[in-house]
Amino acid sequence: MSEKTKYELEFVVQSSPQLLYQYISTPSGLSEWFADNVNSRGELFNFIWDDSEEEAKLLSKKSGERIKFRWVEDENDGNDYFFELRIQVDEITKDVSLMVTDFSEDDEIDENKMLWDNMISNLKQVLGSA
């Protein structure tokens, strides 16, 4: 299998960091914009879309700041890929940004960036910041 490439995206979000954190760190929050349904048992999160289901392991989280997952399939394959959602607040302007770190095959990066664009657009609508 070919190596995946790490990439980062930044989205400015009109929201308080505390509210945004609820939407990126809880099953109910994630099911509002990331997947059709999200369930969790301990550190395992089950993401459900129309015709597929993926399980991810919660690697780390820091309250009000960031959350990091690894797809169980990647872990089973011995890969250390992950995706992380991190809230960043500009010290001067107080603008809130959501930083997305993810990995993708080289030929799928553009497609995956568009997917993140769409999902963050959904998140902004849910937050009322679109």
Q: What is the mean pLDDT of the chain?
A: 95
Give the position of tokens 């890929």: 81
**Residue 129's pLDDT band (boundaries 50, 70, 90)?**
confident
Give me the mean pLDDT over the 49-65 stretch. Answer: 95
Please enumerate in sequence order all residues whose Cβ is within 8 A of that of 129, keeping only pairs 6 or more positions apart, or say none.
13, 14, 15
Dump pLDDT digits (tens) for 6-22.
999 999 999 999 999 99
Phi/psi region, residue 85 (left: phi>0; alpha: psi -120 to 50; beta: rest), is beta
Element spanning 17, H or E: helix 17-25
Whether pLDDT at 2 is above 80: no
Query: 53 is in which domain, residue-wise?
Result: 5-127
Q: At what angle do helices 109-127 and 17-25 cross, to 10 degrees?
A: 120
- Asked whether the beta carbons of 40 and 47 are under 8 A apart, the reply is no
Element spanning 52, H or E: strand 52-62
Whether pLDDT at 1 is above 70: no
Instruction: For residue 47, give the CATH number of its domain.
Output: 3.30.530.20
- Asked whether the beta carbons of 87 and 22 are under 8 A apart, the reply is no
The pLDDT score that the predictor gives to residue 96 is 96
End-to-end CA distance of the chain: 38
Please enumerate in sequence order all residues whose Cβ is within 8 A of that of 63, keeping only pairs 6 or more positions apart, or say none.
21
**CA nearest neighbour of 122 among 27, 11, 32:** 32
Dump pLDDT digits (tens) for 98-116.
999 999 999 999 999 999 9
Number of domains making up the chain: 1
Report the share of the chain in percent with pLDDT over 90: 95
